Amino acid sequence: MSELNLRAERLDAADALAPLRSRFALDDVVYLDGNSLGALPAHVPDRVADVVRREWGELRIRSWTESGWWTAPERIGDRIAPLVGAAPGQVVVGDSTSVNVFKALVGAVRLAGDDRTEILVDATTFPTDGYIAESAARLTGRTLRALTPDEVPGALGPRTAAVLLNHVDYRTGRLHDLPSLTAAIHAAGALAVWDLCHSAGALPVGLDEHGVDLAVGCTYKYLNGGPGAPAFLYVRRELQPRFDSPLPGWNSHAEPFGMSPRYAPAPGAARGRVGTPDILSMLALEAALDVWDGVDIDAVRAKSLALTDFFLECVAAYTEPGRVEPVTPAEHGRRGSQVSLRCDDAGEVMKRLIEAGVVGDFRQPDVLRFGFTPLYTTFADAERAARILGSLLR
Amino acid sequence: MSELNLRAERLDAADALAPLRSRFALDDVVYLDGNSLGALPAHVPDRVADVVRREWGELRIRSWTESGWWTAPERIGDRIAPLVGAAPGQVVVGDSTSVNVFKALVGAVRLAGDDRTEILVDATTFPTDGYIAESAARLTGRTLRALTPDEVPGALGPRTAAVLLNHVDYRTGRLHDLPSLTAAIHAAGALAVWDLCHSAGALPVGLDEHGVDLAVGCTYKYLNGGPGAPAFLYVRRELQPRFDSPLPGWNSHAEPFGMSPRYAPAPGAARGRVGTPDILSMLALEAALDVWDGVDIDAVRAKSLALTDFFLECVAAYTEPGRVEPVTPAEHGRRGSQVSLRCDDAGEVMKRLIEAGVVGDFRQPDVLRFGFTPLYTTFADAERAARILGSLLR
Give the pLDDT confidence of B211-226 residue by residue, as tens digits: 999 999 999 999 999 9
pLDDT, one tens digit per residue, over A149-190 is 999 999 999 999 999 999 999 999 999 999 999 999 999 999
Check whether B125 is labelled as a binding-site residue: no
pLDDT, one tens digit per residue, over A196-240 is 999 999 999 999 999 999 999 999 999 999 999 999 999 999 999
Across the interface, of B40, B95, B139, the residue whose CB is closest to A246 is B139
So what's the pLDDT on residue A1?
A: 63
What is the residue-averaged pLDDT of chain A?
97
CATH of residue A218: 3.40.640.10
- B160 lies in which domain range? 70-292
Instruction: Tell me the catalytic residues of B.
Output: 126, 195, 220-221, 369
So what's the pLDDT on residue A115?
A: 96
Same domain, B281 and B375: no
Cα–Cα distance list, B164 to B122, B133, B136, B280 (Å) = 6, 8, 11, 30
Of B234-238, B240-244, B333-337, B390-394, the range with the lowest mean pLDDT is: B390-394
8 Å CB contact between A334 and A303: no
Last residue of a domain, one of A292, A308, A333: A292
B314 touches chain A (CB under 8 A): no
Q: Chain B interface, mutation test: which of A52, A105, A144, A361, most B Cβ atoms within 10 Å?
A: A52
Same domain, A75 and A223: yes
Cis preceding linkage at B365, omega within 30:
yes
Range B279-294 average pLDDT: 98
Chain-chain contact of A57 with B139 (C-beta, under 8 angstroms): no
Residue B375 lies in a domain: yes
Q: Residues A128, A131, A137, A138: what is their CA dihedral angle, to the nearest 10 degrees?
A: -140
Whether B125 has a pLDDT exceeding 80, the answer reads no
Range B355-371 average pLDDT: 95
Last residue of a domain, one of B271, B292, B313: B292
Range A188-193 average pLDDT: 98
Residue A322 lies in a domain: yes
Residue A56 lies in a domain: no
Same domain, A250 and A264: yes
So what's the pLDDT on residue B343?
A: 95
Chain-chain contact of A248 with B64 (C-beta, under 8 angstroms): no
Residue B126 lies in a domain: yes
Same domain, A107 and A220: yes
Whether A259 has a pLDDT exceeding 90, the answer reads no
Percentage of chain B beyond pLDDT 90 is 96
So what's the pLDDT on residue B148?
A: 95
Whether A86 has a pLDDT exceeding 80, the answer reads yes
Residue B227 lies in a domain: yes
Check whether B250 is labelled as a binding-site residue: yes
Same domain, A151 and A244: yes
- Structural domains of chain B, count: 2
Residue A57 lies in a domain: no
Across the interface, of B132, B228, B274, the residue whose CB is closest to A276 is B228
Last residue of a domain, one of A292, A318, A335: A292
Same domain, A238 and A371: no
The active-site residue out of A195, A213, A366, A381 is A195
CA distance B133 to B143: 10
pLDDT class of B31 with cuts at 50, 70, 90:
very high
What is the residue-averaged pLDDT of chain B?
97
Same domain, A301 and A245: no
pLDDT, one tens digit per residue, over A343-375 is 999 999 999 999 999 999 998 889 999 999 999
Residue B53 lies in a domain: no
Same domain, A360 and A223: no
Across the interface, of A45, A260, A277, the residue whose CB is closest to B52 is A45
Same domain, B84 and B233: yes
pLDDT class of A127 with cuts at 50, 70, 90:
confident
pLDDT class of B1 with cuts at 50, 70, 90:
low
Full 3-state SS string of chain A: CCHHHHHHHHHHHHCCCHHHHHHECCCCCEECCCCCCCCCECCHHHHHHHHHHHHHCCCHHHHHHHCCCCCHHHHHHHHHHHHHCCCCCCEEECCCHHHHHHHHHHHHHHHHCCCCCEEEEECCCCHHHHHHHHHHHHHHCCEEEEECHHHHHHHCCCCEEEEEEECECCCCCEECCHHHHHHHHHHCCCEEEEECCCCCCCCCCCCCCCCCCEEEECCCCCCCCCCCCCCEEEECHHHHHHCCCCCCCHHHECCHHHCCCCCCECCHHHHHCCCCCCHHHHHHHHHHHHHHCCCCHHHHHHHHHHHHHHHHHHHHHHCCCCCCEECCCCCHHHECCEEEEECCCHHHHHHHHHHCCEECEEECCCEEEEECCCCCCCHHHHHHHHHHHHHHCC
Range B16-40 average pLDDT: 97
Whether A126 has a pLDDT exceeding 90, the answer reads no
Same domain, A170 and A83: yes
Residue B266 DSSP code: P
Beta bridge partners of B87: none
Q: From A24, which residue of chain B is nearest by alpha-carbon distance?
A: B57
Range B381-388 average pLDDT: 98
Residue B58 lies in a domain: no
Range B170-191 average pLDDT: 97
CATH of residue A25: 3.90.1150.10
For residue B166, the Cα-to-chain-centroid distance in whole angstroms is 10
Same domain, A288 and A300: no
Q: Which of A 204-223 lie inside 8 A of B, CB atoms?
A: 220
Same domain, B9 and B152: no
